Homo-oligomer: A and B are copies of this chain.
Amino acid sequence: MLKYILLGFLNYYPMTGYDLKTRMEDSTAHFWHAYHSQIYTALRKMEEDGLLSSEMLDEEGSPTKREYTITDVGRAKLKAWLDKSMMELPRVKNEMMVRAFFSGQRDKEHVIDELRAQRQLHLQKLAIYEGYEMAHLLPPEIPMTPEIEHEMFFWNRTLDFGKRYERLCIDWLDETITAVESH
């Protein structure tokens, strides 16, 4: 999966591992988390496999960077993945729900503390999403074309999903906290 995210971004324009890491933190990390260690190793592997090519950039006044460019093979791989529709539901992993499921075995006050902390974190995340502009993902020199607006339509749809998800979590936590408090 990470492979396709990296291909997807590099299909727009060449980028370094750090660029990709920050791009992901501002966008896809909300629905696909990856450590920078994984991104760098994945890029190396993808270059070995011929999906990417790389070039060292030595600008003065900035550290050495390795910039990756998608190859035709990489582009074909991305297209093949996008063209094969997903016919199952995505697999979910949510540690907080696991904890909630087994919370009957726990001290009530302790459970409430945790739920409140989670609520706070979801509020913060929602605030970030609400202040977020997907246009920031674009490099400043790129002019707005209908194609890019079309891309951004989908970026904004995923952002919208993120906001709704955070609201759902907050509402669920509010109700759960109230229900646990009232015995």
Contact = CB atoms under 8 A, between A and B. Distances in A.
A21 interface: no
A89 B122 contact: yes
Interface of A is mostly: helix
Contact of A98 (B1, B102, B106, B113): B1
A121 to B, nearest CB: 5
Contacts of A31: 92-94, 97-98, 101
A105 interface: yes
A174 B153 CA distance: 15
A157 to B, nearest CB: 5
Q: How many copies of the chain does the oligomer comprise?
A: 2
Given A86-B114, A89-B121, A92-B31, A97 B172 contact: no
Nearest to A99: B86
A136 interface: no
A151 interface: yes
A83 to B, nearest CB: 7
A100 interface: yes
A54 interface: no
